Amino acid sequence: MASAEVNVTVFAYPQPDKIDEVAALWSELSRQVQANEPDTLFYYAYVNRDRTAVIVVERYRNQEAYEKHGQTPWFQTFMAKAGGLMAKPLDIQRGSGQLPESSKISRL
C-alpha cells in the first residue's frame, strides 16, 4: 500500500565562496521548520565532504504539508536570501514512502 508521506532530497550548489553562508541560512531554516511545522516529520541538512553542496533530507506527513512548507514566511525568506548565492538551480528529488524494511535502521 502506498504511503501518503512525501520524501524529498535537495542538492544545493552554492557559489564556492558562499558555502558557509548558505549552510548558516539552511540551519536557520531548519530551526524554523522544527519549531513551526509539526507535519514535517524529518528535516536536516549537511554539507558534503568536499564542501561543494548542501544536501537536505526532508519527510512530510503528506502532500499538503509539503506544499505548506514552501509557502511559509521562513521558507520564502530563505529563498530570497539564498537564491542569489547559488552556482546553479536546486536539484530537488521527490518520492513517496520508504522502501519496505528501510526505516528499521533509523536510530533517531
Locate the domains of the chain by residue range.
6-91
The mean-pLDDT minimum among 15-19, 41-45, 67-71, 95-99 falls in 95-99
Write the CA distances from 46 to 10, 52, 79, integer angstroms: 11, 11, 17
pTM (two decimals) = 0.86
φ, ψ for residue 49 (rounded to 5)? -60, -40
Write out pLDDT tens, residues 67-104. Answer: 999 999 999 999 999 999 999 999 999 987 777 776 66
Q: What architecture is domain 6-91?
A: 2-Layer Sandwich (3.30)
End-to-end CA distance of the chain: 25
